Structure 1
Amino acid sequence: METRQKSVKLHYGWIVVLVTFLTLLVSAGVRSMPSTLIVPFQEEFGWSRGSISGVLSIGILLYGLVGPFSAALLQKFGIRRMVVTSLAVLAISLAITPMMTTLWQFELLWGLISGLATGMMANVLGVTVSGNWFVKRKGLVIGLLTASSATGQLLFLPMLAKITVEAGWRSAMYTVVGVIVLVIVIVAIWMRNHPFDLGLAPYGSTELVRPATINENAFVAPLLALRSALTNRSFWLLAGTFFFCGFSTNGLIGTHFIPAGHDHGISEVTSASLLALMGVFDLVGTTFSGWLSDRIDSRKLLFWYYGLRGLSLLILPYAFDEANPMLMIFTVFYGLDWIATVPPTVKLATKAFGNARTGMIFGWISVSHQLGASVAALGAGILRDVLGSYTVPFMAAGAVCLLAAFMSLSIPRNQVKV
């Protein structure tokens, strides 16, 4: 009977996954806020969309640049300590934001501080948790944790849009600060760094494993990992396709979908609800993608994900009408595909570089993702000011996604685990 009880006992790794999911959910909710702020900032401060987009693009880029160093810091100083610190910095930054009056203050608080703080809680956190706590079900865990961004979007965007419309953007900001404080308490109580700390083996194993140690300086180790990765063809292909992934998701749709809807007479609340609906389907799509990446050649998965995403973006300029069923079809279709690319990309990176360095290498691949997002966020805002519409950015994103689909098939076969 005692043996049976042990066999059905919940592994603490799943509790860590739940706490990490909640942390990433809130971080994603914060990163999704700019799409609800562009129009209010235009109206209150008189800033152009290009200027606002420029600040947001800096935040997106820093969010990615922190990734490789985040992986090293999480391993060196512990997940709980780094996450609590990052959440506290983020809460302070957001609490001060409602007091700003000039663009440079927005650049400092949102472009710099918020970008750095949320960067510590990017996809690298999920990769680190899965690497520390799981031997089996890694693809599923990464899919679940990646899907947290969709859930954050689902929970936060409609609420923030409604609060912004009814009570102003400052009230929405203070609401998020309250949520972050609550999450800080949860992380401080229940987060654990490694199964070894509790005398446990990782899930799917019976062998105790000591935490990986980083002998180099936490800021030097990621640079050494990058230097070794630069000679690997898989790195360039994964980074290249992820550039186009960021270009076509959080940089373009995540930042400009609500303003684009506003241009076509669709209210902020309605557009935010459509983005949230994308989040519902992305939760399903990304989790299922994690399951598939444990079973199917990840190159083929990426080919279909990028290809179908590209086709959906090519039709988006013709679907922007509340009464047009094509807009709802796009919402569902695009949602299923939003960040389904992450689990197979992590799978390929692990195969090419090994589990010990995957966090830092994937961090650098994520830098490419955020660089693409930054380019799209800034470029789409400027093109909207110049051309008066988002048609060209949407069409360009569709074209580069089709290119990424064929790049995925070029990843060396001998480094792919089928």
Structure 2
Amino acid sequence: MIITRRNKLHYAWVVAGVTFLTLLVTAGIRSTPGVLIVPIEHEFGWSRATISIAVSVNLLLYGLMGPFAAAFFDKFGVRRTMVTALVLLVIGVCTTTLITRPWHMILIWGVVVGCGAGMTAYSLSATVVSRWFHKSQGTVMGVLTASAATGQLLFLPFLAQLTHHYGWRKATFAIACAALAILPLVLFFMRNQPADKNLLAYGEEPHSNDISPSSASPHRNPFHVAILGLQRGLVSRDFWLLSGSFFICGASTNGLIGTHLIPACVDHGIPEVRAAGLLALMGVLDLIGTTFSGWLSDRYNSRYLLCCYYGLRGLSLMGLPYALAGPEWGLSAFAIFYGLDWIATVPPTVKLTAEAFGRASVGIMFGWIFASHQIGAALSATFAGSVRTYLGDYMFAFLLSGLMCLFAAGLVLRINKKSAAAPGIVPGTEEQAV
């Protein structure tokens, strides 16, 4: 019997809290390469372009695992998938300290850590929000998305200090311990869906016509379910518009700034610890900006929000080369301006995905859209590293990324509110709807 509890904390908030902490730690792991690039470059003599390949593989798999992770949530459960991901991350991060060849870094950091992080990507946030929350979805999604910024805020200055005083290997062990500490919380408190606690989703009425999404059949092959979701998206104009704009989002955030801002600062004589502090400041501001973006997406047209976000980001990136070479306040101004906008795009993009494909399908469909985000990030990380290696600085990469964001600002306005896809159909049940 499903019951509601009006006089006590709804268990959805416990699940959201555990999810937030998990995403926070994985965000700290994913931000680590920004601190490690220069020490590894100095220790092994590898070029920045070579190191960027491992980062690109990590970013690519982080995205490509998303839709399959969403299918794993249905097949094996959210808790089991999260535990598997954390174990992979602990193993991968610890063994990174043993690398001696470039291919070691590509295999361990690129493949193992990339797959582990991908299983706790934004598909996890979208799945938790769509299953556990009937109201305030945009706000909760904004808070969970902001965990990436919070993880960066907490871990980057600490990792930079550890790397500076004790070496990069101690820093990687520290972040692995943080992932290990989250495991008991996931094991004891995480639940797959409200029915596991005999509850309705937060804010859902017992006889609501908008039924909370339920898990797909556990007998279905998760890979088949994910591929069916991709097939559904490929015939949708909205899917291409969402994926294209999110490709540019990834290229201008994780792939460029998240990976190369600290090395770019070092190139301009700015100490690595101070550069990490700038990223941490951006993390604080993005925590505010993304949470506020979630609140706005519950109330205003998400297309107009995205247009503003991409336009402002493009302008800030085009001013970054001059901020790096200019007075000290210029870089701080960039950190403030860009930080408020960093991943504010996620809540409105998730909302548009739900509008186009239905709440029940949002985990897998947003997983594929997020995969395009990480393809953009991976290509941008490699491209920017190559630009730095062969041209001597990052100016061309920053300017090109800014222009791409301005293009995305126009692209998102073409997303059609009425999707041809039938809402509420879970990928993997299409044959029943035909």
Range of TM-score over shorter length: over 0.9
> Are 2:241 and 2:411, in contact at CA under 8 Å, matched by a contact in 1?
yes
Deviation at residue 221 of structure 1 after TM alignment: 0.6
1:288 matches 2:292: yes
* Partner of residue 170, structure 1: 169
Partners of 1:195 and 1:329 lie apart in 2 by 44
Alignment of 1:142-181 (within 5 A): 142-181=141-180
* Partner of residue 365, structure 1: 369
Alignment of 1:79-98 (within 5 A): 79-98=78-97
Partners of 2:286 and 2:117 lie apart in 1 by 20
2:75 maps to amino acid: K
> Are 2:60 and 2:371, in contact at CA under 8 Å, matched by a contact in 1?
yes
* Partner of residue 236, structure 1: 240
Alignment of 1:2-401 (within 5 A): 6-207=5-206, 211-214=214-217, 215-321=219-325, 323-401=327-405
1:409 matches 2:413: yes
Deviation at residue 101 of structure 1 after TM alignment: 1.0
Partners of 1:72 and 1:55 lie apart in 2 by 26
Change (3 A) 1:221 1:45: same
Change (3 A) 1:6 1:82: closer
Deviation at residue 323 of structure 1 after TM alignment: 4.0
Deviation at residue 6 of structure 1 after TM alignment: 4.9
2:201 maps to amino acid: P
1:266 maps to amino acid: I
Partners of 1:331 and 1:209 lie apart in 2 by 39
Deviation at residue 185 of structure 1 after TM alignment: 1.2
Partners of 1:209 and 1:343 lie apart in 2 by 19
Partners of 2:44 and 2:12 lie apart in 1 by 47
Deviation at residue 141 of structure 1 after TM alignment: 0.9
Change (3 A) 1:390 1:210: closer
1:24 maps to amino acid: L
Please give the per-residue CA displacement for 1:35-69, whole angstroms capped at 9, x wherever unaligned. Answer: 10110011001100000001110110010000000
> Are 1:348 and 1:415, in contact at CA under 8 Å, matched by a contact in 2?
no
> Are 1:266 and 1:321, in contact at CA under 8 Å, matched by a contact in 2?
no
2:323 maps to amino acid: A
Partners of 1:50 and 1:209 lie apart in 2 by 46
Please give the per-residue CA displacement for 1:83-113, whole angstroms capped at 9, x wherever unaligned. Answer: 0111011101111111111111111110100
Please give the per-residue CA displacement for 1:359-385, whole angstroms capped at 9, x wherever unaligned. Answer: 111011011000000011000000100
Partners of 1:315 and 1:270 lie apart in 2 by 20
1:83 maps to amino acid: M
- For structure 1, which segment, 205-214 or 405-414, has the greater mean C-alpha deviation from structure 2 after superposition? 205-214
Please give the per-residue CA displacement for 1:252-307, whole angstroms capped at 9, x wherever unaligned. Answer: 00000000000000011000000010000000000000010011110000000000
Partners of 2:405 and 2:391 lie apart in 1 by 23
Deviation at residue 211 of structure 1 after TM alignment: 3.1
- What are structure 1's unaligned runs of at least 5 residues? none
> Are 1:196 and 1:211, in contact at CA under 8 Å, matched by a contact in 2?
no
1:76 maps to amino acid: K
Partners of 1:210 and 1:392 lie apart in 2 by 45
> Are 2:19 and 2:144, in contact at CA under 8 Å, matched by a contact in 1?
yes
2:85 maps to amino acid: S
> Are 1:311 and 1:398, in contact at CA under 8 Å, matched by a contact in 2?
yes
> Are 1:37 and 1:169, in contact at CA under 8 Å, matched by a contact in 2?
yes
Please give the per-residue CA displacement for 1:306-343, whole angstroms capped at 9, x wherever unaligned. Answer: 00000000000000158431211110110100000000
Deviation at residue 415 of structure 1 after TM alignment: 4.6
Taking structure 1 as the reference length, the TM-score comes to 0.96
2:108 maps to amino acid: L
Identity in percent: 53
Deviation at residue 8 of structure 1 after TM alignment: 3.2
Partners of 1:13 and 1:221 lie apart in 2 by 26
Partners of 1:275 and 1:395 lie apart in 2 by 19
Please give the secondary structure, in 2, of the residue aligned with 1:251: helix
2:46 maps to amino acid: W
Partners of 2:410 and 2:149 lie apart in 1 by 26
Deviation at residue 132 of structure 1 after TM alignment: 1.0
> Are 1:234 and 1:412, in contact at CA under 8 Å, matched by a contact in 2?
yes
Please give the secondary structure, in 1, of the residue aligned with 2:34: helix
Partners of 1:156 and 1:232 lie apart in 2 by 39
> Are 2:214 and 2:360, in contact at CA under 8 Å, matched by a contact in 1?
no
Partners of 2:22 and 2:269 lie apart in 1 by 34
2:68 maps to amino acid: F
Please give the per-residue CA displacement for 1:184-226, whole angstroms capped at 9, x wherever unaligned. Answer: 1111111111110010110011339683223531001111111
- The two structures, once aligned, show a CA RMSD in angstroms of 1.6
Partners of 2:382 and 2:213 lie apart in 1 by 44
